[in-house]
Amino acid sequence: MLDIASLVRVHVVLRVHADALIAAQNDMGVCDAIRQKALVGKPEAMSAPHLPKVAGIDPTVPVSTHTAGSLSEAPSATGAFIQDRLAGWVSDLTTLHELTERLAGTGTLDDALHELLDAGAALVGARRGLVVFEPSDRRGPVSTIGLGLAHAELGQIETVPRTATSYGRILEGLPDAEDALTTPDLPGDPGLDPRRREVAARLGYAASYAVPITAGATGRLGAAVWLYDEPAEPLERQRHLVGLYAGYAGEHLARLLELERARADVATITEELLPSRLPRIPGVQLAARHRRAARGGGDWYDALALPEGALGLAVGSVNGSGPGALAAMGRLRSGLRAYAVMEGEDPVAVLSDLELLLRLTEPARTATALFAYCEPAERKILLAGAGHAPPLVISDRRTEFVETSVSAPLGMLACWEAPSVQITPEPGETVLFYTDGLLRRTGDSTDRAFARLHSAAASVPKAMRHDAGAVADHVLHTVLPDGPDRSGSARDRNDGSEDVVVLAARFD
């Protein structure tokens, strides 16, 4: 009787160069196919029913059968077969590891869905496809992303009745669509919906393979479909690989979905805590710009009409980020509005009351604030700040920071000693208020950040200076040319927790 275990053990010991074979198999893997983005001509091999090597898989390797041959031939044939199988398994594991590492490096839903489509297409040997992200709890977000399909082509696919498509049956939770769905021959399928056959012929695909995207905590998240140019279907081994990959992708997408929804909730709360519109006061033009941090910072602004045609302007920043900072910001802004109505003509008194409020409600938190009492008819501004950056006056003749008195932030004052400062803007001048997030997001030192801001303000084109909104936009985009949501460089290290607020007041 043939002792297969002994023969295999002896064969593996003798094959001391097995690593070289495994390395050669890996060189033929799916990851190399993904890296080769350029396609030359029609990829017939990717659409053929019998595919070439994928992830080190050679479909032509014969299945082991019992043979009546001599025992002297058995060790070599059996050992070579097992060696090939081991090399294939190692290649599969390597491929999955590399693909999941690339997927784990994505930080947004769109990036993850694109990566899912690319990797899945290489795993099943397809050239085109689409993924429909539609969480089963109906809370959104919903999106459709294509691979090798233009926007108009995706629109044509969406004209097919939903239950007639493989991804539609998965998303609708039909009983026959709990697992992957294969349509190996669209033109030759007699039961195919006529509209689906028409769209497939128009777009030039003849087969499809769809898999559900699910996660344990959230359930069904969407479905991915890959399209073949010719009648075809993936091999059993390819199906297994893409199934494992889709399982990991579902869990990763569920985590990104949770983050996306949390950010949306923070954005909604932040916008609700800030003014929905700015007051219209004769003699002054107002514009505000707010750029929210990813985790939700505590920067805020306010503008309110006061008795006798006066105007109250305020900007401030609460240290920290997240829901706690947002709650503290809301309390401070509400308190400042009340104090401004009662004693707005005395900015020092307003900030003194705000200091007391912060000590009582947020004893472990600090904040900066600047309040300005404006009389537009006389172009007179009386302002006071608590640890806040000075405003900037912008005009054709000058660009300079207002010299304000030095004061510690709110929550750190033993007693209030800093007096208020009065300025009188000239007609056509714009006073720019901003939070320290604008300076910190530059990633520069304080001196360099102030110099960058001054240079940006001085470079406002003359044609824009009559519009407060245009001035604010120019300064913001010049100081932060790539926008406040940049990531990946040293100068953007604070983007995750730093809001940016710019409030511009142009006097006639």
Domain parsing of the chain, residue ranges:
4-102, 107-266, 276-507
Range list of β-strands (E), 104-162: 128-133, 143-147
Going by CATH, does the domain composed of 276-507 fall within 3.30.1330.60? no
pLDDT at res. 416 = 57
pLDDT at residue 487 above 90?
no
- Using the predicted structure, report yes or no on whether residue 9 has a pLDDT greater than 60: no
Residue with tokens 């980020």: 321
The residue among 123 and 1 whose pLDDT is bigger is 123
Residues 163-172 have a mean pLDDT of 92
pLDDT of residue 93: 86
pLDDT in tens, 18-29: 443 333 344 444
How does 362-401 read in b/e, with b if 16+ C-beta sit within 10 Å?
A: beebbbbbbbbbbbbeebebbbbbbbbbbbbbbbeeebee
The residue to which tokens 């407060």 are assigned: 468
Alpha carbon distance 464, 474 (integer Å):
9
pLDDT at position 411, please? 82
Contact (Cβ atoms closer than 8 angstroms) between residue 384 and residue 348: yes
pLDDT above 60 (res 229): yes
Pair of tokens at residue 363:
């004893």
Q: Would you state the pLDDT for residue 132?
A: 96
Mean pLDDT of the chain: 81
Those residues whose C-beta lies under 8 Å from the C-beta of residue 482, and which sit 6 or more positions away, are none
Parallel, antiparallel, or unpaired for β 128-133 and 284-291? unpaired
pLDDT of residue 344: 86
Same fold, 107-266 and 276-507: no
Q: Two tokens at 215?
A: 């996660």
The least confident of 50-64, 130-144, 269-283, 455-469 is 50-64
Q: What is the pLDDT of residue 59?
A: 43
Tokens coding 423? 């300025």
Place 58 in a pLDDT band, splitting at 50, 70 and 90.
very low
The DSSP element (H or E) to which 344 belongs, if any, is none
DSSP class of 281: B
What DSSP line would sit under 5-17, residue for residue? HHHHHHHHHH-TT
How much is the pLDDT for 294? 67
**Calpha distance 336→357 (Å, rounded):** 9
pLDDT class for 414, splitting at 50, 70, 90?
low
- DSSP, residue by residue, 443-456: -S-HHHHHHHHHHH
Report the alpha-carbon distance of residue 398 to residue 422 in Å, rounded. 18
292: pLDDT strictly greater than 60: yes
Which pLDDT band holds residue 109 (cuts at 50, 70, 90)?
A: very high
Q: Indicate the pLDDT class of residue 267, thresholds 50, 70 and 90.
A: confident
CA angle 486, 487, 493 (to 5 degrees): 110
pLDDT of residue 249: 95
Helix (H, G, I), strand (E, B) or coil at 245: helix
In percent, how much of the chain has pLDDT > 70? 79
Residue 53's pLDDT is: 39
pLDDT at residue number 390: 92
pLDDT band at 417 (very low <50, low <70, confident <90, very high): low
Burial class (CB in 10 A: 0-12, 13-18, 19+), 139: exposed
Which residues lie below 8 Å from residue 14, measured CB to CB, with a gap of 6+?
A: none
CATH superfamily, domain 107-266, is: GAF domain (3.30.450.40)
pLDDT attached to residue 409: 87
pLDDT value at position 328? 86
Mean pLDDT of 238-264: 92
CB burial of residue 314 (10 Å; 0-12, 13-18, 19+): buried
The first and second tokens of residue 185, run together, are 């021959």
The confidence score (pLDDT) of residue 5 equals: 41
CA Rg value for the chain: 33
pLDDT tens, residue by residue, 357-411: 888 888 888 899 999 999 998 999 999 998 889 999 999 899 999 988 768 888 8
Residue of higher predicted confidence among 72 and 260: 260
Task: Give the separation between CA 434 and CA 316, rounded to whole angstroms.
Answer: 8
Is residue 164 within 8 A of residue 144, CB to CB? The reply is: no
Q: Report d(CA 250, CA 211) in Å as an integer.
A: 11
Half-sphere exposure of 74 (CA within 13 A, CB side): 16
- Greatest mean pLDDT among 416-420, 435-439, 468-472: 468-472
Average pLDDT over residues 123-146: 93
Cβ atoms of 433 and 502 closer than 8 Å: yes
174: how many CB neighbours lie within 10 A of its CB? Answer: 12
* The pLDDT of residue 67 is above 60: no
**pLDDT above 60 for 336:** yes
With bands split at pLDDT 50, 70 and 90, how would you rate the model's confidence at 489?
very low
Number of other residues whose CB lies within 10 A of the CB of residue 187: 11
Residue type, 63: V
d(CA 32, CA 63): 27
**Among 395, 385, 381, which residue's Cα sits nearest to residue 417?**
385
What is the torsional sign of CA 463, 466, 467, 471? positive
The b-or-e profile of 46-82 (16+ CB within 10 A means b, else e) is: bbeeebebbbbbeeeeeeeeeeeeeeeeebeebbeeb
Closest residue by Cα to residue 446 from 438, 457, 455: 438
pLDDT for position 457: 95
What's the length of the chain? 508
CA distance 13 to 348: 86
Choose the weakest-confidence range: 228-242, 301-315, 348-362: 348-362
Of residues 36, 22, 113, the one with CA closest to residue 46: 36
33-47, 249-263, 412-426, 477-491: segment of lowest average pLDDT: 33-47
| β-strand partners of 434 | 502
* 45-49, 396-400, 450-454: least confidently modelled range: 45-49
Question: Which tokens sit at 249?
Answer: 């992708």
Residue entry with tokens 């008195």: 405
Query: 409: which 2 tokens?
Result: 């932030």
pLDDT score for 415: 57
**Residue 478 contacts by C-beta under 8 Å, 6 or more apart in sequence?**
455, 456, 459
Helix 74-104 × helix 18-27 angle, to 10° = 50
